[in-house]
């Protein structure tokens, strides 16, 4: 009882501090769901091949290697700062309720919308399990701070969801999966969107109300795909596969907005942002678009960044950090577009507007 009373006082103090912060009103917490693009260390202690808790990952991050698949910030790290929040902890490393009052990151490298996606990497936390972990967090906060206070706080929090890349790269396109024999691209996009809608609805039922849902980004020019072509060419086929899924997600979010009372879903078109960067890299400050900063073989994409492998020195000039992931510089651009961008990249509203609702 005393512990619960103390936590209620702590929650009140957090709310008062936020109110006194001045400036535009921002969200009280950020909850993150996704894959290696935004994982911050949940795979570190799993029996998994999908890990990044070694140097040179984190070479430009204040905490060094943490499990982020990047040299520095991920998209959600920058978003947390823009929201006036601390960097949210990975769920696996949050040992107390107090640590998740301002959010938690449930993302897991190799995870997909479908439970079997990413199986080649062994251990990972699929989206369904991430949602279950979130439900546990909500129950813990409600038990400690009171159901009403927890529900009110959660309803004002931002939920960021970025799923689907592994359902293509490490399922549909993986040679040891038979998915392509069972579904054509349209059927697979429909399957994913149907499952995704159910999962987002489950988050809503757990109390989430403000959602930022990222589409699958452009993957036709990532170094691992470039390396599969002797000429190092992009694959329009890979990009073409994900476009029906992204279109499905946009339509699905419109439906959820119409049918779930009090919900606000907004779509991040990171595919469009990434294509804009690749089309005119100099306009965004980049000069190297055809290879990873850290990797081996053609385009730095045949083998991804190995432990203690020296990365490129001029990381700010690179679009890609390793065989699969963008550099921190790209992540920061995408996050700022998500926070402040117009309807061409954030529809119907941007994260800054969502936070003020």
Identify the domain containing residue 249 by its residue range: 2-215+236-276+325-356
Q: Parallel, antiparallel, or unpaired for β 318-320 and 346-347?
A: unpaired
Q: What is the DSSP string of 100-160?
A: GTTEEE---TT--SSTTTTGGGB----HHHHHHHHHHHHHHHHHHH-HHHHHHHHHHSEEE
Is the pLDDT at 219 greater than 90? The verdict is: yes
Mean pLDDT calculated for residue range 80-91: 98
Q: Is residue 228 part of a domain?
A: no
Q: How confident is the model at residue 3 (pLDDT cuts 50, 70, 90)?
A: low
User: For residues 79 and 351, is the Cβ–Cβ distance under 8 A?
Assistant: yes
Looking at the 3D structure of the chain, how many domains does it have?
Answer: 1
Give the pLDDT score at 131. 99
3-state secondary structure of 326: strand
Q: Is residue 74 part of a domain?
A: yes
Q: Which of 77, 167, 239, 322 is catalytic?
A: 322
Q: Is 194 a catalytic residue?
A: no
Residue 338 Ramachandran class (φ > 0 left, ψ -120 to 50 alpha, else beta) = alpha
303 phi, psi to nearest 5 deg:
-130, 130
Give the pLDDT score at 19. 41
DSSP for residue 347: E
Give the pLDDT score at 351. 98
Q: Is residue 291 part of a domain?
A: no
Q: Is residue 294 part of a domain?
A: no
Q: Is 322 a catalytic residue?
A: yes
Mean pLDDT calculated for residue range 132-161: 97
Is the pLDDT at 285 greater than 70? The verdict is: yes
Q: Is residue 312 part of a domain?
A: no
Q: Which of 95, 184, 325, 344 is catalytic?
A: 325
What is the tens place of the pLDDT at every residue in 38-47? 999 999 999 9
Q: How confident is the model at residue 143 (pLDDT cuts 50, 70, 90)?
A: very high
Q: Is residue 42 part of a domain?
A: yes
Q: How confident is the model at residue 128 (pLDDT cuts 50, 70, 90)?
A: very high
Average pLDDT, the chain: 94
Give the pLDDT score at 6. 58
Residue 287 Ramachandran class (φ > 0 left, ψ -120 to 50 alpha, else beta) = alpha
Mean pLDDT calculated for residue range 127-150: 97
Give the pLDDT score at 13. 57
Q: Parallel, antiparallel, or unpaired for β 288-292 and 318-320?
A: parallel
Angle at 328 (CA atoms; ends 269, 109), nearest 5 degrees: 75
Give the pLDDT score at 18. 45
Closest CA to 314 of 59, 67, 37: 59
Mean pLDDT calculated for residue range 52-79: 98
**How distant, in Å, are the alpha carbons of 28, 56, 216, 300, 342 from that of 238?**
38, 29, 11, 19, 27
DSSP for residue 171: I
What is the tens place of the pLDDT at every residue in 17-36? 544 343 445 999 999 999 99
Q: Which of 36, 92, 108, 165 is catalytic?
A: 36
* Strand spans (E) along 174-271: 210-214, 264-268
Maximum separation of any 2 CA atoms in the chain, in Å: 67
- Minimum mean pLDDT among 6-20, 67-81, 103-117, 189-203: which range? 6-20
Q: What is the DSSP string of 23-89?
A: SS---S-EEEEESTTT-BSTTTTSSBS----STTTTTTSTT--SSBSSSS--HHHHHHHHTT-PPPP
Q: Is residue 310 part of a domain?
A: no
Closest CA to 34 of 131, 135, 158, 122: 131
User: For residues 86 and 114, is the Cβ–Cβ distance under 8 A?
Assistant: no
Q: Is residue 33 part of a domain?
A: yes
Q: What contacts 126, CB < 8 A, 6 or more positions away?
A: 108, 111, 112, 113, 114, 115, 117, 118
48: which strand partners? Answer: 122
Q: Is 117 a catalytic residue?
A: no
Is the pLDDT at 4 greater than 70? The verdict is: no
Q: What is the CATH number of the domain that holds 251?
A: 3.40.50.1110
User: For residues 108 and 130, is the Cβ–Cβ distance under 8 A?
Assistant: yes
48 phi, psi to nearest 5 deg:
-135, 150
Mean pLDDT calculated for residue range 232-250: 97
Rounded Cα distance between 69 and 65, Å, is: 9
């Amino acid at each position: 009882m005393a512990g619960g009373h103390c936590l209620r006082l702590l929650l009140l103090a957090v709310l008062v501090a936020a109110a006194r912060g001045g400036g535009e009103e921002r969200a009280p917490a950020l909850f993150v769901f996704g894959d290696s693009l935004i994982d911050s260390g949940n795979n570190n202690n799993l029996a998994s091949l999908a890990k990044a808790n070694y140097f040179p990952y984190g070479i430009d991050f204040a905490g060094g290697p943490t499990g982020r698949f990047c040299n520095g910030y991920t998209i959600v790290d920058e978003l947390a700062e823009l929201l006036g929040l601390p960097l949210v902890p990975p769920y696996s490393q949050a040992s107390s309720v107090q640590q998740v009052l301002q959010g938690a990151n449930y993302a897991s490298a190799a995870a997909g919308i479908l439970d079997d996606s990413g199986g080649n990497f062994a251990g990972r936390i699929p989206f369904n399990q991430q949602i279950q972990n979130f439900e546990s967090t909500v129950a813990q906060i409600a038990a400690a701070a009171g159901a009403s206070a927890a529900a009110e706080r959660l309803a004002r929090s931002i939920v960021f969801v970025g799923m689907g890349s592994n359902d293509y790269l490490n399922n549909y396109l993986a040679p040891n999966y038979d998915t392509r024999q069972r579904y054509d691209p349209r059927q697979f996009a429909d399957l994913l969107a149907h499952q995704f809608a159910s999962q987002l609805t489950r988050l809503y039922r757990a109390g989430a109300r403000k959602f930022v849902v990222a589409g699958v980004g452009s993957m036709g020019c990532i170094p691992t795909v470039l390396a599969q072509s002797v000429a190092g060419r992009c694959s329009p086929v890979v990009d073409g596969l994900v476009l029906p899924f992204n279109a499905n997600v946009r339509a699905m979010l419109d439906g959820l907005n119409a049918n779930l009372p009090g919900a606000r879903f907004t779509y991040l078109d990171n595919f469009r942002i990434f294509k804009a960067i690749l089309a005119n890299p100099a306009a965004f400050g980049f000069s190297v678009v055809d290879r990873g900063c850290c990797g081996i073989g053609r385009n730095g994409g045949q083998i991804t960044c190995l432990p203690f492998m020296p990365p490129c020195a001029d990381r700010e000039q690179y679009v890609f950090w390793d065989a699969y992931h963008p550099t921190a510089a790209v992540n920061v651009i995408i996050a700022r577009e998500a926070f402040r961008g117009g309807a061409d990249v954030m529809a119907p509203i941007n994260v800054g507007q969502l936070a003020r609702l």
